[in-house]
């Protein structure tokens, strides 16, 4: 019988990590051999548990999953990396691939697709969420107008919108309209997420 794929899971949310472990352990050919709640725990656990594949979240305490992927690559331990994250942003995808990750999936992917991604990465293949791959092809051009970029830059660090309006010489209502458009175009939940997404994509 073929040895199961040895898997390390790293996610700072215990419930998410537990759910992923429970789902993937149901697969006969996958065995979860280590779990981490911080990015700076990953390399030590890879050295200790010798997983075949490390499934890493991006946003974790210590260091993020992309930096952890780079550490694994640089250590030459033969462990492949699959990034699984809530934040399916083209900027993250490009950084992850540059750090040596073999795959990039979003967390809302069906369990069977995630298990298949683990198998394919283990075989040395590259696995990228198809919607994210398509989005990354068009990530170079900013969806924001020049005025929206100016407004977002002025609002990036949490300034009151009345101050933003004064800084860009617009009415408060116009600034609010621009912010609504910016948030919609970046797929963010608020202006802080919009600014971060724009920074990651090189739009600011």
At residue 95, the pLDDT reads: 78
> Using one digit for the tens of pLDDT, what is the confidence trace for 133-149?
766 665 556 788 989 98
Say what the pLDDT of residue 117 is. 94
**pLDDT of amino acid 164:** 93
Nearest to 52 by CA among 24, 80, 17: 80
CA 14 to chain centre: 17
In the 8-state DSSP scheme, what is residue 41? G
Fold of 5-137: Rossmann fold (3.40.50)
Q: What is the pTM of this model?
A: 0.67
User: Using only C-alpha atoms, what is the Rg of the chain?
Assistant: 20
Q: Tell me where in the chain the CATH 1.10.10.10 domain(s) lie.
A: 146-198
- C-alpha distances out from residue 174 to 170, 180, 181, 185, Å: 6, 10, 11, 17
pLDDT digits (tens, 9 = 90+) for 33-49: 999 999 999 999 999 99
- CATH 3.40.50.2300 residue ranges for the chain: 5-137
Q: Each residue of 148-192: pLDDT tens digit?
A: 989 998 998 888 999 999 999 999 999 999 999 999 988 888 999
Asked: is 146-198 a CATH 3.40.50.11890 domain? The reply is no
What is the C-alpha separation between 10 and 6, in angstroms, rounded? 14
Q: What is the secondary structure of 97-139 as a DSSP string? A: HHTT-SEEEETTS-HHHHHHHHHHHHTT--EE-HHHHHHHHTT
- Determine the Cα–Cα distance for residues 70 and 40; give it in Å rounded to an integer: 12
């Amino acid at each position: 019988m073929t040895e199961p794929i040895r898997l390390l899971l790293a996610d700072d949310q215990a419930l998410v990590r537990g759910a992923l472990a429970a789902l993937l352990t149901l697969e006969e050919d996958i065995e979860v051999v280590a779990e981490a709640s911080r990015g700076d725990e990953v390399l030590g656990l890879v050295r200790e548990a010798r997983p075949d594949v490390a499934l890493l979240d991006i946003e974790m305490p210590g260091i993020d999953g992309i930096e952890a992927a780079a550490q694994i690559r640089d250590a030459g331990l033969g462990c492949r990396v699959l990034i699984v994250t809530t934040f399916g942003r083209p900027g993250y995808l490009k950084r992850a691939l540059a750090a040596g990750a073999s795959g990039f999936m979003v967390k809302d992917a069906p369990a069977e697709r995630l298990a298949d991604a683990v198998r394919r990465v283990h075989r040395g293949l590259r696995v990228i969420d198809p919607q994210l791959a398509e989005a990354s092809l068009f990530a170079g051009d900013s969806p924001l107008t020049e005025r929206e970029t100016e407004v977002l830059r002025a609002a990036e660090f949490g300034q009151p919108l009345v101050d933003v309006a004064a800084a860009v010489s617009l009415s408060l209502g116009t600034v609010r309209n621009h912010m609504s458009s910016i948030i919609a175009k970046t797929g963010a939940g608020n202006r802080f997420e919009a600014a971060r997404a724009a920074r990651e994509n090189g739009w600011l």
